Amino acid sequence: MDNKQIRYDILKELFNVSVGQAASMLSEVVKKTILLDVPKIEIIKSDKELCELQTHLPAVLDGTLMISSITFQEQLTGEANLIFPAEKMKTFINLCLNESEQEMQYSDMHFTDMDFDIIREIGNIILNAIVGGLSNQIGIQLQYTLPEVQVFDRIDFEEDIQNKEYPYFLMLYITFDIGDTEIEGAVIVNLTLTSLKELMLIVTKIEDELYG
Amino acid sequence: MDNTLYDILNEIIEGIVIVNEGLKICFWNDYMENVTGLKQEDVKENYIYEVLPNLNKRYFEQSIQQIIKNGCKIFFSAGMHRSLVSNKKEFNVKISLIQKNNSKFFLLEFIDVTNQFVRINQFKEYVQELYKLNQKLKVKEQLIKKLAYYDQLTGIANRTLFYKIAEKLIDNANRNNSLIGLLFLDIDKFKQINDVYGHEAGDKILKKVACILQNYTRKSDMVARFGGDEFIVLLPHFKDSKSYKKVASRIMNAEDKSIYYHSREIKISFSVGISLYPEHGNTIDTLILKADQAMYTAKNKGGNQYCIFE
Amino acid sequence: MKILIVDDSYFSQKTTANFIKKFLDSVDFEFAKDGKEGFEKYKQIKPDYTFVDLLMPNINGQELIKLIKTDDNDAKIIVISADVQKNIREEIEAYGVLSFINKPMNEEKARLISELIRNDVNGQ
């Protein structure tokens, strides 16, 4: 394993622990066991080319997307976005509200304020666990907001995220299995160059300690 | 904390509760008193779980731990946490950390979304009603379509549907260079039968003929009642001009060409004229006209036979 | 004493080993990166204690625990997992594992496990 692989492995494991935390919170609130998959991560440099992100966003994330975002600052500056397909979120919301599919005879893809609030709570759980968990494990302090929830078309989202000033994306792919519904999603952490360097510096330090 | 600050918190039109690190209530504003009917002096120093028993204890505790660890804010949505405060109202809850002189407090804000819930439920009921109405309309629409396109007596296509489909079939044949045969059928001596046996017997004969035509043609052929005692059969996808003869003789030689009316057998016979696309014409009207002429030739020869247009 | 650590993260393998080393002397560590390799190494070296992560590719931790327990019902297994759901924990504990530790590993948790192992060894 070379140094780069080890650094990825460290990041992945840090995220893994955070996703585990998030799942525990989620299972508590939906009162169901959640089956987790091994998460994957990637670091992507944005070249202001649209095709770039496209190749990295999983194919399941198509059509209408539900995105919760938080911004954070202090030792690291950036933004974290949790992305799920809107359709799956609808199923998930119905699961949370204990509304069976039979009651919902029509396929209703409209999100009410109540739905948005549920997504905000879920987004908050997952993003807190991931961003908070990460900062906690690597021993840094971050200030961050409650999530904003938006519905995007995939294409608009790609443009939106690439138009921001963050040149690096940390992509984290997550899969939850809740009550027979598989929800594949991604977390995109956008970082400034300084912040990515800072993060990798901390990771390198952790790596050195492994042999220390 | 400053008393002025408490006064301010009492003026706010949302529920404000402050608990200490041990999750015991330190402050409970007037709004909370109004909503729950519990006075501050009665709940002070009590565990938040005891006062708000619908709070999911494990989840709440995990959230509090997260707040302490990460300094984040926590949001509970009214959708997932029902009847947190009272059975009559629904609240979103936001929890944040307040640090003062080394002690930690948690600020719980309760935001009333009951009206939202009511509106959403009304909306959902409304949508459900619309959905049901829509389903009903769809059924009606189908019925209307059936009435508009099918002959009520025999259940086969009427003249309107025949024209609609015939034009498409001719377009297709034109594109694929295939042939179409048109059979124009008229029941022999139908008027006399009607006069002798009555309209009821006539109707029975019309139904029988429709039935024979359907039984002795392919699924892709089109059988229509053109009007009165006239029927048309359209035979698309023919490979050569001989094949129509097979269909015509099959219909002519049908075994069950009779009905029973008041225990009396009435024999049915008909005359058929045939025209071919594209040999005899390019439009459906021309084809009908020529098949009609061929049918008269058959009648003039004594009926109960078929003739091709010449 | 032989300890086998089965974890798909190299970082996690090393961290666990490093922390345990601080509290237990003369331990030989063996590592495996998934349940499949883990079971092969288990059969090969017959470790005194096996540390198992739950979320792993190929054969996951839960399957591995089943395999090991079928081979030797008295096998000593310590679960170190990022999946900290109550239900999952209860399900895994039903297999009769020695302990269930939540990730991330830290000095305090390592001390507790080491003590547990020491008591277990002395008790035999």
Cβ contact, residue pair C11, A6, below 8 Å? yes
Cβ contact, residue pair B127, A108, below 8 Å? yes
CA A182/CA A185 separation, integer angstroms = 10
Ordered by start, the domain boundaries in chain A are 3-211
For residue C104, pLDDT over 80 is answered with: yes
* Predicted-assembly ipTM surpassing the 0.95 threshold: no
pLDDT of residue A46: 66
Pairing of strands A34-36, A168-178: antiparallel
Which pLDDT tens digit goes with each residue over A198-212? 888 888 898 998 886
Cβ contact, residue pair B77, A118, below 8 Å? yes
pLDDT of residue A51: 47
Smallest Cα distance from C123 to chain A, Å: 32
Sequence-separated (6 or more) residues with CB below 8 Å from residue A20:
A36, C55, C81, C82, C83, C84, C102, C103
Cβ contact, residue pair C82, A210, below 8 Å? no
Smallest Cα distance from C13 to chain A, Å: 10
Lowest mean pLDDT, pick from A71-75, B40-44, C76-80, C117-121: A71-75
Average pLDDT, chain C: 93
Smallest Cα distance from C122 to chain A, Å: 30
Which of A121, A136, A141 should be substituted to probe chain B, the one whose Cβ sees the most B Cβ atoms within 10 Å? A121
Which pLDDT tens digit goes with each residue over A6-56? 888 998 898 899 889 888 888 888 888 888 877 788 887 766 544 456 666
Considering A37-41, A160-164, B210-214, the range whose residues carry the highest mean pLDDT is B210-214
* Nearest neighbour of A132 by CB, restricted to B58, B69, B120: B69
pLDDT of residue A55: 67
For residue A83, pLDDT over 60 is answered with: yes
Ordered by start, the domain boundaries in chain B are 3-112, 117-149, 159-308
Which pLDDT tens digit goes with each residue over B5-28? 889 999 999 999 999 999 999 999
Amino acid at A190: N
Superfamily classification of domain A3-211: CheC-like (3.40.1550.10)
Indicate whether this model's pTM tops 0.80: no
β-sheet bridge partners, residue B106: B19, B97
The CATH class, in words, for B159-308 is alpha beta
CA-closest candidate to residue C80, choices C89, C90, C71: C89
| Domains within chain C, CATH numbers bracketed | 2-118 (3.40.50.2300)
CA A116/CA A72 separation, integer angstroms = 21
Q: Is B92 on the interface with A (CB under 8 A)?
A: yes
The CATH class, in words, for B3-112 is alpha beta
The CB-based long-range contact list for B170-179 (8 Å cut-off, 24+ gap) reads B170/B277, B170/B282, B170/B283, B170/B284, B172/B236, B173/B236, B173/B277, B173/B278, B174/B278, B178/B236, B178/B237, B178/B238, B178/B239, B179/B238, B179/B239, B179/B240, B179/B241, B179/B276, B179/B277, B179/B278, B179/B279
Amino acid at A108: D
Sequence-separated (6 or more) residues with CB below 8 Å from residue A82:
A67, A68, A69, A123, A126, A127, A147, A185, A186, A187
Please give the structure tokens belonging to residue C68: 């090991």
pLDDT of residue A50: 45
